[in-house]
Amino acid sequence: MLLIHGGAGVIRKDMDAETERATRVALTAALRRGHALLAAGGSAVDAVSAAVVALEDAPYFNAGKGAVFTHDGVNELDAAIMDGASLRAGAVCGVQHVRNPVLLARAVMERSEHVMLAGAGAEAFARTQDIALVDPEYFRTGKRRQELADALRQSAAGEEVDHYGTVGAVALDGHGHLAAATSTGGMTDKRWGRIGDSPVIGAGTYANAVCAMSGTGWGEFYLRTAAAHAVCARVQLLHQSVTDAADAVINGDIPRLGGSGGAIVLGADGSFALPFNTDGMYRGWIGDDAEPHVAIWPDEC
């Protein structure tokens, strides 16, 4: 089983037909890429890595190519990955030249003694691991430039700015092992090296022996609730279903504090949940029948 998301907070009135079609195609391709590895006997870590790389390479999501701009007009990328079977994890934050941050996060997990590396240090490590580096212009799109301009104008007028997004994947492999991965460009107009929940193990990304979660939404609230760990702790310690655990945190704890967003949650028994409390969430799932399912709006199954 493989679940993916491409971010919550999608607004129907802002979505044109061509963008919606292209986005669904990109989600389907990511599902097929990750599931092919599972079908060939690959690990859950392999599957989430491949799926997130596909989403990072697509320009429609706030991760990798197409990441949002900071207040200063640059792209600062974060990512994390976790192996539920071993509780190993790797994360990077604030990188500006790494084409696929999730691959660098995996390298941190598998080839270093650390869990999280930041900025120039993370990129120095990337050079020792043959991780692809690109000119920052690679990440930039006209749509994201316009979003920054809109955000700057809204901020100047005292209006709320809510441009954020993430991509992620959770997987269950043939050995019964779980994994989770998340990647993001953060929030449009972010300042001062802001880091959200995505690269923080236990906040936006977490996996253990019974549960895996990748979150998307207003990161400060996922950090304050340790959302991903909270969901999986409910499954593991309170023996809640993934649906009940996810609903309690994503649609309970976070909104009570004033936040919003969504998540993909997968249990070791193959049960899963895709809760969100925004206008829409890019999401998809694929199981033993190898048939990809993609949805955006609340009224889709």
The catalytic site residues sit at 166
The string of DSSP codes covering 268-284 is: TTS-EE--B-SS-EEEE
CA angle in degrees (0–180, nearest 5) for 73-78-83: 170
What are the phi and psi torsion angles at 273 (to 5°)? -140, 145
- Residue 157: exposed, middle, or buried by beta-carbon count in 10 A (0-12, 13-18, 19+)? exposed
Nearest of 204, 208, 211, 209 to residue 181 by alpha carbon:
204
Please count the other Cβ atoms lying within 10 Å of the Cβ belonging to residue 203. Answer: 26
Count Cα atoms within 13 angstroms, Cβ side, for 243: 2
Asked if residue 31 lies in contact with residue 4, where contact means CB atoms within 8 angstroms, the answer is yes
CA gap 162, 217 in Å, rounded: 10
Distance of alpha carbon 10 from the chain centroid: 15
Amino acid at 79: A
Asked if residue 71 lies in contact with residue 189, where contact means CB atoms within 8 angstroms, the answer is yes
